[in-house]
Structure 1
């Protein structure tokens, strides 16, 4: 059995999988950063675990705490490369691609072997193009919905950080802020999808904690998929050992 770990900017998501083709999910969950030590309890509940495989964009301290919680397991971290699991990385410097984006692209390829736009809406929103041939063509990183709202509150004297409602024609400030941030997310996604729209079975795979806030605004072929990073980690973990 393998423990998959996605250490993101806000939360740490995990999944226990059993050997098989494909790997079979046994259990999964999510932890706040200050709860990372609870991964030890996950390890203890599944004594058949032999190794852990993860990706980390949360920093060295979180990586060290995950390693401590996984004591006794063979722990490996995903490193972006020029190619893996049917995906070719066309980043100018492949190793500089975020490990979470790389895992999500691999997960997307495993779920939808056609052209797709891979969108993860969390603390940041990433919008990545994946060709029908499995080539990562490039993508965007923009502030997530909450970060956009916080930036307006921090950077201006009169725009508040307050809950608003979405409206097509906002008529109060808090609604204008909230609606503007959602429209910005949806607009970025739809503009990027235009590059794939004429390809057979092209699809947007949308996940992340903020995805539902603007999913209904999108007018493109769409599939809501959570935990693409874990799916990608599982695809890599299930590959046969390299010679």
Structure 2
């Protein structure tokens, strides 16, 4: 008679669930978790110096004005005639570029003084286009030591993948990208002959110097034309001076007649 109540008591104690510890309001949150500074954290990882990560912070905002210095010691130039080459001159106006983001990791490169866009056709040749088109889009990637590569977005080489060791194909096809490249003589290379590891395909975006900024300001003033603003104050000032002189002369003549 005593064992039956004990068994019922033990069974009731075993069915009680353990008490879970209290959970803080922000515990276990990954997206939108507050940072130490206050705003919500971005769940995506930031890009590091090697170009790995998820966010292209260097492509945001206004267009960047840079000079693309190749590892072969040439500055990329876009000519008004449609020609593209490299120059050893450090402060040349045709080497000043305007880099604009058109998509995530995709940029358009325009020569400020030539007014043309850098482009690559389906034969791998670089040329300067008067208008922006799909051949003017380049994939920008950051590599070691701060160098960048610019690969054509729409033109590449299709390479069928060879069978693997097990006999099965790893991929149906593989793409080899075509890069903007300037050789040791300052001439552009064909896209299908380039590699991302080639010295001629590595470019260092250089910030403009004082001489470059002065040339850009002069170009902008020439494009805007002569300003009409300064003429109005001088013109008004001349009229005011003439009116004062007439008024003074009239007063003098009036005084003479009274005497």
TM > 0.5 = no
Structure showing greater relative contact order (alpha-carbon pairs closer than 8 Å, 6 or more residues apart): 1
What TM-score comes out, normalization by structure 2 length?
A: 0.24
Q: Counting helix residues as a fraction of each chain, which structure ranks higher?
A: 1
What TM-score comes out, normalization by structure 1 length?
A: 0.25
